[in-house]
Structure 1
Amino acid sequence: MVTTYFLQAIDKGTMSFASIMGIIPDAGLVGQDYQWLTTCIYITILIVEYPQNYIISRVPVAKYLSFMIVTWGAVLACTAACHNFTGLVIVRTLLGLFESACQPAFVVLSAMWYRREEQASRVTYWYMMNGAQQVVGGLLAYCFSLITSGPLKSWQWLFLVYGVISVVYGLFVGWWMPDSPMRAKCFTEEDKHLMVERVRSNQTGIQNRKFKKEQVWEGLTDPQTWGYALIQLCTTLPTSGLGSFQGIIIKSFGFTTLQTQLLAMVLGFYIIMVLLGSVWIVKRTNQNLLTMLGFVVPSFIGTICLMTVSPTGMAQKVGLLICYYITLSFWSAQTLALSMMSRNIAGQTKKAVVVATNFIIWSTGNAIGPQVFLTWDGPHYRIAWSTHLGCYSLLVIVVIGLRFYLTGQNKKRDALAAAGVQEAKDDKLVHAFEDLTDKENPNFRYVY
């Protein structure tokens, strides 16, 4: 999962590095054309997310993931052949279609293989590849930028090489990765049984292919669904804009193209530190939502400084660069919300609905993000920064509301257990694999 997500992140991030390698003039991009090359990916994800989750819940997950990796690699390689806006929109749209399977599949796999207390760190491990791709991608983009002659431009080599690597890796995933613990050839039958039993305490099941209409309604009416979805909206809207315009923003501080490619690596290290730091705090305190709130504070500070300070000298340039880095601190909320969703939502049909809804809102935020960076508002982009501040404010409200809701639900169930209701205090977890939802199972307790 870590390697797959790294490839997806670096493949998706190629456009950000290519933006200062000549793709904009070479493809004749004008006005908001560049912004739409990111937005079209997430509009596609928005459309296909429900059918994608329906398929994932009913097919061998690893084989399906392998097919999608191969196809997105092929599409990425074809980007090197595009010379106008139309061609780029087509390949970027197809890239969104095939990459849309990755994160939903990982949420399912995390719940299938790992216990609840392990899932926060596992989700963080694969999600922090967003930072790793900044480090590796920045270094490789620097190397590709040194190509100044030959049949292909530097940005074309970037897309072609990354695409070929993804195709080869996708074939490897199909051969190597098991679809579930029960199908893992490296385990004996006894080990497979133990692998399943160790996740009984999750009370979220393994994989059930029966569609249950009542779980669809519960998923759509559960306040948790919309709480996690709003967290994604409030974090992805700033993320996609900051990611797409990373090179342009850093270069606007007064750095050269090559310096900008290398400085992107520092941002990657910072993102990794934020994600690892947040999961370490969660492990020590068991406080997911309060940890989210703590990591939003630097985002407020960094964004306000970017709005108010101009790069008039070297000190200001370095200060603005640091402010840009710390603005990404809110990313921990996105990761922790995903891990909470995999731990707090039970019932396979309900989980598919909640995950699909979550990633539809996730893609909505990602689609809007680049559009708030208006070309005529550059290089200061005050409208974008103001929008981001609004997102952080809404994020704080949603996190506080979700905490009140989850603690209230746990108190109700504790009261039932104290009153002698056996189903609310079942130490043997006899209903763990009965595909009950978290609301149907009074023995279920939420993490917050």
Structure 2
Amino acid sequence: MEKDQPSSGGAQSGVDKLKVDDSIMRDVDFGEVLQVETSPELDKKVLRKLDLFLIPLMGGCYMLQYIDKLAISQATLFNLRQDLNLKGNEYNWASAIFYFGYFAWSWPSSYLVVRLPLGKYLGVAACVWGACLMVHAACINWGGLMAARFFLGVGEASIAPGFALITGMFYTREEQPARQAAWFCGNSIAVLLGGLIAYGIGNIHVTAIAQWQLLFLILGAITSAYGILLFLTLPDSPAKAIFLKPTERAVAVQRTLKNKTGVMDQGKFKWNQVWMAVKDPQMWFLVLYTLCVNFCNGGLTSFSAIIITGFGFPHLEALLIQMPIGGAQLVFLLLTSGVASFVPKTRILMMIFNTAVSMVGMLLIWKLGDDNRAGKMTGLCLGGVFAANIPLSLSLISSNVAGFTKKSTVSAVMFAAYCIGNIVGPQFFIPSEEPSYMTGIKASMAGLAFGIFFLICLYVFYIFENRRRDRLYGSPREMTESEELQDEISNKTDHEIESFRYMV
């Protein structure tokens, strides 16, 4: 691509040469975007505003999502299984059916996030999942619980992929790991606060309603209220950020042009990009990694409270004992995301490190004797550390997948794998082995080992592909803003943009 020559039209002349689809970023005047003069001070001011507004908003929602996800495990300590007369594997399937709903809505969601205003769509989704959680309190048998769990999964399916798209829309590729980790901190805080909330509800003694019903009603009402807040405040794009001034919105668009990942290519679903995603090895390495490690996630999310009581802790104390699991996740999340943000080419290496730590944790649970409660509890805390990889894996999609439709497709397939892993994982937790669940622990450890293997494959693929492109096209050069904009709105994928290089 040749550089645009200066002309009397200035930056606008570069825009005149751009072939822009009428459906793409209708809210942005590209000439105005390129004509806005930015500065390091203004850029920092915009970044600070984005951090202060978006990160707490998304982090709070993600915290509520995980608190709600943990609720069924906590409800088992309030006699949920006994009151609903659950037999054999019925609780396992009640836990897994949530991910069937999640899986069923992954593909429709990947289409809707392109066609609908993203912020409004996510706000409605949060209201729906909050309402579905409240419906849990009305369940009187296994069938009712299965239906409630399925639609809860439908409500939650859009949140994490949607937040990943928003992060890619507002932040540069270098900034994304830290920001993905920042809102994902809500996951770790949820484990810390969720135990306290459930413990407090467990100390409420009323005869009109069971404690597990009260748990679902309180948490669901809070989530639905938060969904309304998201609907009113979460922006659909930088051009609609109500907390930014008009000039700051232009700067917000301008600062992410170098991403070349097509986050501004909204409003039109492109089927050819779906096919490109299917042919892309990076998608399948991410998908297989996600599938394998979530054997562990599905089991620990649904059975952690029961496993802890098997260590010898009373039921209410087991709710509080879960809190260190969140603390361990938070420590490793901050550590590895910090390294990935400030040390180049370490994202995948940090993911391998977290997964290996989780393998060690599961090994401690498996091999330590029943009398070593502290050691087993340490193992359980370390076993959940792999969850700190979620923001890093999302940042890989935000940074390394170009084309809005391709990005949403890869996100949908990856979250489908997430669902399948969480569906399969609990089935290894055999009821007759309660509360130790040795088969489930060994299956989780095997999944983590395969996860490490696929991460190594992904790392090798990125290195090989970057070197291949350097040989074919030469090292990426500095480009003018109009050239960056041309790549950003060119409707091309990462395989089609010659100057695109993968972040590892």
Note the residue ranges of structure 1 that are not aligned, 5 or more in a row.
none
**Structure 2 residue 491 is the aligned partner of structure 1 residue 432:** no
Alpha-carbon contact 2:115-2:269 (below 8 Å) kept:
no
**Structure 2 residue 68 is the aligned partner of structure 1 residue 11:** yes
**Structure 2 residue 130 is the aligned partner of structure 1 residue 78:** no
**Structure 2 residue 346 is the aligned partner of structure 1 residue 290:** no
- The alpha carbon displacement at 1:115 in A equals 0.9
Alpha-carbon contact 2:356-2:452 (below 8 Å) kept:
no
Identify the residue that residue 325 of structure 1 maps to in structure 2.
Answer: 381
| Cα separation, 2, equivalents of 1:342 and 1:431 | 16
Alpha-carbon contact 1:231-1:334 (below 8 Å) kept:
no
| Cα separation, 2, equivalents of 1:181 and 1:104 | 18
- The alpha carbon displacement at 1:124 in A equals 1.4
- The alpha carbon displacement at 1:201 in A equals 1.1
**Structure 2 residue 153 is the aligned partner of structure 1 residue 96:** yes
Identify the residue that residue 174 of structure 2 maps to in structure 1.
Answer: 117
- The alpha carbon displacement at 1:325 in A equals 0.7
Give CA deviations for 1:236-258 in whole Å, capped at 9, x if unaligned: 22012111111000110000012
- The alpha carbon displacement at 1:123 in A equals 1.3
- The alpha carbon displacement at 1:379 in A equals 2.6
* Distance change >3 Å, CA 307–CA 426, structure 1 → 2: same
Aligned ranges 1:128-277 → 2 under 5 Å:
128-205=185-262, 206-277=264-335
| Cα separation, 1, equivalents of 2:88 and 2:61 | 34
Identify the residue that residue 463 of structure 2 maps to in structure 1.
Answer: 407
Identify the residue that residue 354 of structure 1 maps to in structure 2.
Answer: 410
- The alpha carbon displacement at 1:426 in A equals 5.1
Give CA deviations for 1:177-231 in whole Å, capped at 9, x if unaligned: 2211111233333221111011001111223222323211110010011111112
| Cα separation, 2, equivalents of 1:237 and 1:123 | 23
TM-score by length of 2: 0.85
Note the residue ranges of structure 2 that are not aligned, 5 or more in a row.
1-57
Alpha-carbon contact 2:111-2:269 (below 8 Å) kept:
no
Identify the residue that residue 369 of structure 1 maps to in structure 2.
Answer: 425
Give CA deviations for 1:385-428 in whole Å, capped at 9, x if unaligned: 22112112211211111111101111122223438xxxx53522
Identify the residue that residue 336 of structure 1 maps to in structure 2.
Answer: 392
| Cα separation, 2, equivalents of 1:353 and 1:370 | 27
Aligned letter for 2:231? G
| Cα separation, 2, equivalents of 1:120 and 1:254 | 39
| Cα separation, 1, equivalents of 2:275 and 2:338 | 35
Alpha-carbon contact 1:127-1:335 (below 8 Å) kept:
yes
| Cα separation, 1, equivalents of 2:295 and 2:413 | 16
Identify the residue that residue 304 of structure 1 maps to in structure 2.
Answer: 363
Among candidates 278, 281, 288, match of residue 339 of structure 2: 281
- The alpha carbon displacement at 1:80 in A equals 1.0
| Cα separation, 1, equivalents of 2:164 and 2:82 | 39
Give CA deviations for 1:24-68 in whole Å, capped at 9, x if unaligned: 101111111111122101112212211111011111011111111
Alpha-carbon contact 2:171-2:256 (below 8 Å) kept:
yes
| Cα separation, 2, equivalents of 1:87 and 1:363 | 21
- The alpha carbon displacement at 1:174 in A equals 1.3
| Secondary structure in structure 1 of the residue aligned to 2:487 | coil
Identify the residue that residue 447 of structure 1 maps to in structure 2.
Answer: 503
| Cα separation, 1, equivalents of 2:218 and 2:447 | 36
Larger Rg: 2
* Distance change >3 Å, CA 368–CA 128, structure 1 → 2: farther
| Cα separation, 2, equivalents of 1:311 and 1:194 | 59
* Alignment root-mean-square deviation, CA: 1.5
Aligned length: 441
| Cα separation, 2, equivalents of 1:400 and 1:291 | 11
| Cα separation, 2, equivalents of 1:185 and 1:318 | 50
Aligned letter for 1:411? R
Alpha-carbon contact 1:232-1:334 (below 8 Å) kept:
no
Give CA deviations for 1:61-109 in whole Å, capped at 9, x if unaligned: 1111111111111111111111211111111111011111111211111
Alpha-carbon contact 1:228-1:341 (below 8 Å) kept:
no
| Cα separation, 1, equivalents of 2:489 and 2:224 | 36
| Secondary structure in structure 2 of the residue aligned to 1:310 | coil
Alpha-carbon contact 2:257-2:488 (below 8 Å) kept:
yes
Alpha-carbon contact 2:296-2:445 (below 8 Å) kept:
no
Aligned letter for 1:64? Y
| Cα separation, 1, equivalents of 2:183 and 2:429 | 28
* Distance change >3 Å, CA 418–CA 94, structure 1 → 2: closer
